[in-house]
Structure 1
Amino acid sequence: MNRKDRLYALMERLRDGELHTAEAMAQDLGVSVRTIYRDMEVLAASGVPVEGARGYGYTARAAVTLPPLNLTDAELDALHIALAALGASDLEEHAAAARSLAAKIEAVLPEEAGQPAAPFGFATDAFAGAARGFAHMPTIRAAIRARQKLRVVLAGQPHDIRPLLLDYWGRVWTCVCWDERDGAFSRFALDRIEGLAPLPGLFVDEPGKRLSDWQTLGKPSQG
């Protein structure tokens, strides 16, 4: 497992809000405890709300929820695209505008004592390429609304899926789906998509394959 996939796997584990020791995570992922310590530092620097310490364990508090704003889905997507893509660009004027917009958003976020501020919308290190997945968001969003099956290529392998949810957590956009090939729920980061195409077939809710069934399971596999 490469570093980026390992970080995604750690994020999935921390989502449950439980306390996880570095020793247990290291054993499950086949790496050293020191590697887990470094990974926790990377996740925290990337904006994932990691809490804990060496020798104690790690968890992730609930992601910050913005107060109600009059934004459409398209406007929300554009906001993330602007901050992620322009904030780290070489075009200083656009980068400055993205930082200014991020500061305005941070000004209305809840404040928690003792927690360092994490710039909204900016990813660092292993997640810096997350903006690549934005191009697929309109197709996936439309398919969720229309209940249309998609064929997605991940790591060179095609998967016919029923897209169920677009989720943003820890500075990464992911898609929750029912994988027809594997016969199981899966979650994958949008920047891992190598190919994406709508399929002619639509799907209807079936017991065991619905979003509510995934939410009941609580711990879906990561694609």
Structure 2
Amino acid sequence: MATSENRADRLMSLMEMLRDGQLHRAEDLAVALGVSLRTVYRDMKTLMGSGVAIEGARGTGYRAQAALTLPPLNLTEAELEALHIGLAVVGTGMEGELREAAESLSAKIDAMLPEEVGGVTQGFGFASYPFDVSARALRHLEPLRTAIRGKQKLHVRTSESARDVRPLKLSHWGRVWVLAVWDETGNGFAELRVDQITEITPLPGLFVEEPGKSLRDFEAQS
């Protein structure tokens, strides 16, 4: 076994080991994965807390209960974003079993995502904002994504301001979507909550990357 697996690979390896239905001591799992016993305990807590059907405890060993499993999937950022939107809609627009299933699935995805921060890999789980906030943001996502890809300048209006911007990046924190921009009106970088945007108007002409105004500059500043 490789001893330098990242967290997502390690959790997947743990699930594969436990799928045989046999009881596995934490010490044996640690040796097989080339990690510390403490890391195994932490990983098992993560898997169990995210809804993976595992029974056992420290000192007794662990085994997987019978449950539906899927083969590993490689998702693009766009696919992960689509999955996040769908879960947000179900998790906030439904009650009972479907809402619980959406929350459980969200937690499982969180547990399997890489540990690096930023972009869609951060904060996948549900936040405490009401659904109408999410719905207001969802209608703006596609035109904003199109503008980012096409480097289209936008006039963005909120209830408090109006500004001409260069859209750079969309990211989310739970259900709160944020648009990073170069604000030409204010002559600086800014982050706008998408649910607070009331109007988006494309402006004539496209923008090109300029030193000090690019996504790379924004991320370096952040």
TM bucket by the smaller chain?
Answer: 0.5 to 0.7
In the alignment of these two chains, the number of paired residues is 144
Name the residue aligned to 1:76.
80
Alignment of 1:28-177 (within 5 A): 70-92=74-96, 94-109=98-113, 120-125=124-129, 129-169=133-173, 171-177=175-181
Q: Distance in 2 between matches of 1:169 and 1:194?
A: 20
SS of equivalent to 2:198: strand
Seq. identity, %: 50
1:144/1:69 CA distance change after superposition, 3 Å: farther
Residue 177 of structure 1 contacts residue 187 of structure 1 at CA under 8 Å; is this kept in 2?
Answer: yes
The structure 2 residue matched to 1:211, chosen from 185, 201, 215, is 215
Residue 130 of structure 1 contacts residue 190 of structure 1 at CA under 8 Å; is this kept in 2?
Answer: no
SS of equivalent to 1:104: helix
Q: Distance in 1 between matches of 2:212 and 2:124?
A: 36
Higher relative contact order (CA closer than 8 Å, sequence separation 6+): 1
Which structure 2 segments of 5+ residues have no match?
1-71, 116-122
Alignment of 1:179-198 (within 5 A): 179-198=183-202
Residue type of the alignment partner of 2:188: A
Residue 161 of structure 1 contacts residue 178 of structure 1 at CA under 8 Å; is this kept in 2?
Answer: yes
1:139/1:213 CA distance change after superposition, 3 Å: same
Which structure 1 segments of 5+ residues have no match?
1-67, 112-118, 219-223
Considering only CA atoms, is the larger Rg found in Structure 1 or Structure 2? 2
Residue 150 of structure 1 contacts residue 160 of structure 1 at CA under 8 Å; is this kept in 2?
Answer: yes
Residue 164 of structure 2 contacts residue 183 of structure 2 at CA under 8 Å; is this kept in 1?
Answer: yes
Name the residue aligned to 2:9.
none
Q: Distance in 1 between matches of 2:174 and 2:98?
A: 24
Residue type of the alignment partner of 1:187: E
Aligned CA-pair RMSD: 3.0
